[in-house]
A and B are shown apart, each in its own frame.
Chain A
């Protein structure tokens, strides 16, 4: 294998599993360390800079970081990253003075944002401090988008949502609420330099089976029903409720139904329990509220008698996989099953819909009626129109919408300064700083705490099920937050190897608790993976290969897979060929970072250049 090029920022970025898995690439270990130090405000600001909605995401994020967490490969349970974010948000001090302070010097350019969800709000936050005049349009009476209408208040209190939305609106955003934009052409005819479309995937998928129309009064589309509950148009549901679907919307529907009078609420889903789209913790929370999840049942018809819905019949299936691991649901041949229901909530997916975008304005749609959008710049085929969030590539989640928003903002800023959106896009900001302070001293807490993941306390069901707005999860208190934070392995403190210094004494090989390091003859990657101390079979994790070593002409090869980042290799290295170096990776955003973390623990303030400077 060729020696690993550690000057490529993506190499070490990939080692920080959580950050790499996060669509917005939030520097997770950095803020977790700040939480352990009790620096909640700083931890909040690191999050705010990266993901804009720490309090919201600390409660509702899909947390792709957690399945990726290295701790999960060593200790079964990953660090509770998401709930630690909430610890930072819950305990933060006064953060507003640390945010960009308006009024900002106008740069004379206007940008329109359609839809006031997380994607648009991110664009607004990134561009407003640069002097843009931002006009935000939404049909609802306030900002938040799907975070407002789709996420039930028992998971996300309105106060938390409003606070973080208002941080952005307070940057001097021109809001046009209760304003449905019915024509993109009209918007483009105005004097906007750019238009960003962040209108989400607003249409709930229909279930066209017999009885759908006859039973319509008691059959509701999940996302519409959730919105109607959120806006207090709906406050009741029947006693027996069936929720069709297996995603997180289905989980929100069934739990909301429990709070609106549903006593016998069931989730019935086509696929097997294990492969349901809902996050495992959301399934657990639903089951905890006495909601059974019945899997492998395909709805066949709504049963309506005398104009009133009686229930749903289902066909039982089982999942079969062909050679290409492609799944099909095959009927088992058992008789159909009937489940009674007063109301049915259909939560089987969402679709994009752009009835308000004219098809003759130079903006191309593909055969699935989705706009053609560039994956890097988020520009559509109309140079002034950008897409982000669910509107860009279909339903995802809040954190993905934020990631899109940042990149769209970069593009809009480049466009407005007549620069090339691809070639003049700046690289992410990276830094690598040694943590060595003494023979056995590091600037980070290198000791590995070995206790299990802590459980987040919940309010009792007697309270939560009677009040739709009572938050279920109570969050970690600061002490629990401290303990959970200590479980983090500091994967951003990198093991950096300097081959010319190595005397091949084997000290690192012998001390490494998890057998990551091997000195061996160089080979091609497949062979090398077999010849590491423990075969390196996790192909998603890279091998760190050194240059040829001075004495024996072998190479050092490190399997990154289960490295604890405990620093013992560097501590036992007599020549400092190994060093532990903190890696900082900050995604390119519009504007310029004025202050960033210089060293672990010294992160003070992140503000963005407020005078309209371009990247």
Chain B
């Protein structure tokens, strides 16, 4: 019986700038099904954080309920974590973020947790442009309860039992753009080459970064006729462009063939080099991004890659003009200035 993963690692594992090997970013052994797309996304998160030289204690992992929301246990064991109530991760994230803006907030949710029970919370956290990564591990079904269709299952997609879904899918990416998300990307768990740079850019983005990642449910939704199976997604992926992410001050070495290349500078000076493949698409124009998504959808394709980005994003703290210091760094007097100050404020409101 093996529910144990050896702690032996490759003796030649490289170290990042902080001196950590990648295993310092790993989590506990996954209890998800063998072959679950979520595990692959977890590995991509581990890789992205290692490559970005993020100190694990500077990350807070947040999740709701579902297979996806179990995932934070399987990456970044040395980070903070909060597994909240079904669909309520956004409000926990908002509270945590307002209390301490210095952490990277990494929210993990699923299609049920976001598009059904959590829809109310989701739309509000988008419109507030909370500075966080909101990652949806989207498998189009309720894997934890034996694979019933979820709200992101495509109309016409066939379930494992053979029934065909009658209802239109909620398109989370276009919904997020519509609601004013400032960074929206779409990807596939089986394509780490695309997913890792996308994750890095999302973590570096100031404001709400939504990543909708198709993550096949190998147990309940990997059957012929499903539009979220490994082979279907691979056959129907259309990419907006390939991208490379370079942290601040580092030269981008990847070379691309001739074509339209954009260097997008993030707020901290790091750069995304985007090699545009999709026609008639402007990553800075929400309308163009929406069009590209809908256009691909009409053709039966799934558009992946960076879809939209607002380089001038103003996140919630900036809008609210909150204190720059996290609450835990403020003194008792600053946090509770006393009844005299309260009296002054009250007097000012009279």
A513 to B9, CA, bound (A): 6
A572 to B43, CA, bound (A): 14
Q: How far is the CB of A185 from chain B (nearest CB, A)?
A: 58
The verdict on A506 contacting B6 (CB below 8 Å), with A572-B34, A574-B34 known, is no
Selecting from B10-18, B164-172, B245-253, B296-304, the interface stretch reads B10-18
Q: Is the CB of A513 within 8 A of B6?
A: yes
Q: Is the CB of B11 within 8 A of A447?
A: no
For residue A551, which residues in chain B have a CB less than 8 angstroms away from its CB? 230-231, 234
A566 to B5, CA, bound (A): 8
Q: How far is the CB of A546 from chain B (nearest CB, A)?
A: 16
The verdict on A507 contacting B231 (CB below 8 Å), with A440-B3, A446-B2 known, is no
Q: Is the CB of B230 within 8 A of A503?
A: yes
Partner of B216, one of A442, A505, A515, A533: A505
A446 to B3, CA, bound (A): 10
Within 8 A of B (CB), among A426-456: 439-442, 446-448, 450
Q: Is the CB of A503 within 8 A of B5?
A: no
Q: Is the CB of B234 within 8 A of A510?
A: no
Q: Is the CB of A574 within 8 A of B33?
A: yes
Within 8 A of B (CB), among A79-97: none
Q: Is the CB of B7 within 8 A of A450?
A: yes
Q: Is the CB of A510 within 8 A of B43?
A: yes
Q: How far is the CB of A434 from chain B (nearest CB, A)?
A: 16
Q: Is the CB of B8 within 8 A of A448?
A: yes
Type the 1/0 row for A242-253, where 1 means its CB is closer than 8 Å to any CB of B. 000000000000
Q: Does residue B320 face the partner (Cβ distance < 8 Å to A)?
A: no
Type the 1/0 row for B198-227, where 1 means its CB is closer than 8 Å to any CB of A. 000000000000000000101100100000
Q: Is the CB of B10 within 8 A of A514?
A: yes
Q: Does residue A537 face the partner (Cβ distance < 8 Å to B)?
A: yes
Q: How far is the CB of B302 from chain A (nearest CB, A)?
A: 15
For residue A509, which residues in chain B have a CB less than 8 angstroms away from its CB? 43
Q: Is the CB of A513 within 8 A of B8?
A: yes
Q: Does residue B127 face the partner (Cβ distance < 8 Å to A)?
A: no
Q: Is the CB of B35 within 8 A of A572?
A: yes
Q: Is the CB of B34 within 8 A of A573?
A: yes
Residue of B nearest to A75 (CB): B8
Q: Does residue B1 face the partner (Cβ distance < 8 Å to A)?
A: yes
For residue B11, which residues in chain A have a CB less than 8 angstroms away from its CB? 73-74, 562
The verdict on A506 contacting B2 (CB below 8 Å), with A513-B8, A514-B8, A573-B35 known, is no
Type the 1/0 row for B228-256, where 1 means its CB is closer than 8 Å to any CB of A. 00110010000000000000000000000
Within 8 A of B (CB), among A379-417: none
| Listed residue (B12, B34, B189, B222) with the most chain A CB atoms within 10 angstroms of its CB | B34
Q: Is the CB of B230 within 8 A of A505?
A: yes
Q: How far is the CB of B243 from chain A (nearest CB, A)?
A: 19
Within 8 A of B (CB), among A256-289: none
Partner of A514, one of B9, B30, B234: B9
For residue A504, which residues in chain B have a CB less than 8 angstroms away from its CB? 190, 230, 234
The verdict on A534 contacting B12 (CB below 8 Å), with A448-B6, A507-B40, A510-B39 known, is yes
A574 to B218, CA, bound (A): 7
Q: Is the CB of A571 within 8 A of B2?
A: yes
Type the 1/0 row for A476-512, where 1 means its CB is closer than 8 Å to any CB of B. 0000000000000000000000000001111101110
A575 to B36, CA, bound (A): 12
Within 8 A of A (CB), among B1-59: 1-14, 30, 33-37, 39-40, 42-43
Residue of A nearest to B74 (CB): A510
Q: Does residue B192 face the partner (Cβ distance < 8 Å to A)?
A: yes
Residue of A nearest to B216 (CB): A505
Q: How far is the CB of B234 from chain A (nearest CB, A)?
A: 5
Count residues of chain B with CB under 8 A from any CB of chain A. 34
Q: How far is the CB of B7 from chain A (nearest CB, A)?
A: 6
For residue B8, which residues in chain A have a CB less than 8 angstroms away from its CB? 74-75, 448, 450, 513-514, 564
Partner of B7, one of A507, A513, A535, A562: A513
Q: Is the CB of B231 within 8 A of A447?
A: no
Q: Is the CB of B35 within 8 A of A507?
A: yes
A147 to B39, CA, bound (A): 57
A535 to B14, CA, bound (A): 10
Residue of B nearest to A551 (CB): B234
Q: Is the CB of B14 within 8 A of A574?
A: no
Within 8 A of B (CB), among A569-587: 571-575
Partner of B10, one of A440, A447, A534, A566: A534
A509 to B191, CA, bound (A): 13
Q: Is the CB of A564 within 8 A of B6?
A: yes
Q: How far is the CB of A262 from chain B (nearest CB, A)?
A: 43
For residue B2, which residues in chain A have a CB less than 8 angstroms away from its CB? 440, 442, 446-447, 566-568, 571
Q: Does residue A552 face the partner (Cβ distance < 8 Å to B)?
A: yes
Q: Is the CB of A574 within 8 A of B40?
A: no
A450 to B5, CA, bound (A): 11
Q: Is the CB of B34 within 8 A of A571?
A: yes
Q: Is the CB of B234 within 8 A of A566?
A: no
Q: How far is the CB of B105 from chain A (nearest CB, A)?
A: 24
For residue A511, which residues in chain B have a CB less than 8 angstroms away from its CB? 5, 30, 39
Count residues of chain A with CB under 8 A from any CB of chain B. 39
Q: How far is the CB of B42 from chain A (nearest CB, A)?
A: 7
For residue A571, which residues in chain B have a CB less than 8 angstroms away from its CB? 2, 34
Residue of B nearest to A559 (CB): B10
For residue B7, which residues in chain A have a CB less than 8 angstroms away from its CB? 450, 513
Q: Is the CB of B37 within 8 A of A505?
A: yes
Q: Is the CB of A505 within 8 A of B218?
A: yes
Q: Is the CB of A562 within 8 A of B10?
A: yes
A515 to B8, CA, bound (A): 10
Partner of B6, one of A439, A515, A566: A566
For residue B13, which residues in chain A have a CB less than 8 angstroms away from its CB? 515, 534
Q: How far is the CB of B235 from chain A (nearest CB, A)?
A: 8
For residue B42, which residues in chain A have a CB less than 8 angstroms away from its CB? 510
A505 to B228, CA, bound (A): 13
A204 to B8, CA, bound (A): 47
A440 to B1, CA, bound (A): 5
The verdict on A503 contacting B9 (CB below 8 Å), with A442-B2, A447-B2, A510-B43 known, is no
Type the 1/0 row for B110-133, where 1 means its CB is closer than 8 Å to any CB of A. 000000000000000000000000
For residue A506, which residues in chain B have a CB less than 8 angstroms away from its CB? 39-40, 43, 189-190, 192
| Listed residue (A505, A533, A573) with the most chain B CB atoms within 10 angstroms of its CB | A505
For residue A566, which residues in chain B have a CB less than 8 angstroms away from its CB? 2, 5-6
A535 to B2, CA, bound (A): 28
For residue B36, which residues in chain A have a CB less than 8 angstroms away from its CB? 505, 507
Residue of B nearest to A575 (CB): B35
A550 to B42, CA, bound (A): 24
| Listed residue (A74, A441, A448, A572) with the most chain B CB atoms within 10 angstroms of its CB | A572
For residue A562, which residues in chain B have a CB less than 8 angstroms away from its CB? 10-11
Q: How far is the CB of B203 from chain A (nearest CB, A)?
A: 20
A507 to B39, CA, bound (A): 7
The verdict on A515 contacting B35 (CB below 8 Å), with A441-B1, A506-B40, A506-B192 known, is no
Q: How far is the CB of A418 from chain B (nearest CB, A)?
A: 54
A535 to B12, CA, bound (A): 9
Q: Is the CB of A515 within 8 A of B190?
A: no
Q: How far is the CB of B233 from chain A (nearest CB, A)?
A: 10
Q: How far is the CB of B232 from chain A (nearest CB, A)?
A: 10
For residue A573, which residues in chain B have a CB less than 8 angstroms away from its CB? 34-35
Q: How far is the CB of B238 from chain A (nearest CB, A)?
A: 15
| Listed residue (B4, B35, B218) with the most chain A CB atoms within 10 angstroms of its CB | B35
Can you spell out 13 A-B residue pairs with CB atoms less than 8 angstroms apart?
A447-B2, A448-B4, A450-B8, A503-B222, A503-B230, A505-B35, A505-B218, A507-B35, A507-B39, A551-B234, A564-B6, A574-B34, A574-B219
**Interface on B for A, CB 8 Å cutoff?**
1-14, 30, 33-37, 39-40, 42-43, 189-190, 192, 216, 218-219, 222, 230-231, 234
| Besides the known contacts A73-B11, A439-B34, A562-B11, 13 further A-B residue pairs in the complex with CB atoms under 8 A apart | A503-B231, A507-B36, A509-B43, A510-B43, A511-B39, A513-B8, A514-B6, A514-B9, A533-B10, A564-B6, A567-B2, A571-B34, A572-B35
State the 5 A-B residue pairs at the shortest beta-carbon distance, nearest first.
A574-B35, A510-B43, A448-B6, A506-B40, A505-B35
